Amino acid sequence: MAEVSRRVRAGGGSVIGGRLMLAIDPRALERLAAGQVVALVTGTNGKTTTTRLLTAAMSTQGPVTTNAAGANLVSGLVSALARHTPGAAAVLEVDEGLLRQAIAAAHPAVVLLLNLSRDQLDRTGEVRMHAERWRAALDGSQATHVVANVDDPLVTWAARASARVTWVGTGQRWRLDAASCPECGARILWGSPPADGWACSVCDLRRPDADVWLDDHTLVFADGLRLDIRLALPGWANRANAAMAAAGAVAAGADAEASVRAMADVADVAGRYQVVAVGGGVRARLLLAKNPAGWAEALDLLRPAPLPVVVGINARIQDGRDPSWLWDVPFERLRGRFVVATGERGRDLAVRLHYAEVEHEFVADELDAIRRAAATAPHGYGGAEVDVAANYSSFQQIRKAVGSGESREGQTGAA
Partner 1 sequence: MPRDAVTIVLLYPELLGTYGDGGNALVLAQRLRWRERPADIVEVTAGEPVPESGQLYLMGGGEDGPQALAARELIASRALHRALDGGAALLAVCAGFQVVGHEFVGPEGEPHAGLGLLDCVTRRDSGARRVGEVVAEPDPSLGLPPLTGYENHQSVTALGPGVRPLGRVVVGAGNDTGDRSEGALAGRVVGTYLHGPVLARNPGLADHLLASVVGDLEPLDDVEAEALRKERLAAARRERK
Whichever of 126 and 257 has its CB closer to partner 1, that residue is 126
Question: Which residue, 34 or 186, is less far from partner 1 as judged by CB?
Answer: 186
**Residue closer to partner 1, measured from CB, 75 or 391:** 391
- Alpha carbon distances (Å) from 130 to 5, 96, 351, 388: 32, 7, 32, 31
Closest to 12 measured CA to CA, from 193, 266, 270, 258: 270
CA distance 320 to 117: 14
Closest distance of CB 288 from partner 1, Å? 20
CB of 391 to partner 1, least distance (A): 14
CB of 126 to partner 1, least distance (A): 5
Cα gap 310→319, rounded to integer Å: 18
Q: Give which of 415, 407, 399, 405 is closest to 285, Cα–Cα.
A: 399
- Comparing CB distances to partner 1, the nearer of 239 and 352 is 352
DSSP 47: H
- Residues in Cβ contact with 250 at an 8 Å cutoff, skipping those fewer than 6 apart: 166, 212, 256, 259
Instruction: Quote the CA–CA distance of 172 and 188 in Å, as a whole number.
Output: 15
| Shortest Å, Cβ 394 to partner 1 | 16
Q: Give the residue from 407, 339, 325, 328 showing the smallest Cα distance to 370.
A: 339
Instruction: State the minimum distance, in angstroms, from the CB of residue 31 to partner 1.
Output: 35
Q: Which is nearer to partner 1, 209 or 357 (CB)?
A: 357
Please, what is the minimum distance in Å from the beta carbon of residue 330 to partner 1? 11
Q: Whose CA is closest to 312, among 247, 226, 399, 193?
A: 399
Give the binding site for partner 1 (CB under 8 A): 118, 121-122, 126-128, 175-176, 179-180, 182, 185-187, 201, 321-322, 324-328, 347-348, 350-352, 354-357, 362
Q: Which is nearer to partner 1, 202 or 222 (CB)?
A: 202
- CB 346 to partner 1: min, Å: 10
- CA atoms of 295 and 288, how far apart (whole Å): 8
Q: How far apart are CA 75 and CA 130, in angstroms?
A: 20
* Smallest distance, partner 1 to C-beta of residue 355, A: 5
Residue number with CB closer to partner 1 (132 or 268): 132
Under DSSP, the state recorded for 207 is P
Complex with partner 1: residue 168 or 356, whichever CB lies closer? 356
278 and 399 Cβ atoms separated by less than 8 Å? no
> Which of 147, 398, 379 has the alpha carbon at shortest distance from 287?
398
Nearer to partner 1, 121 or 161 (CB): 121
Give the nearest distance from C-beta 79 to partner 1 in angstroms: 31
Strand 188-190 and strand 110-113: the pairing is unpaired
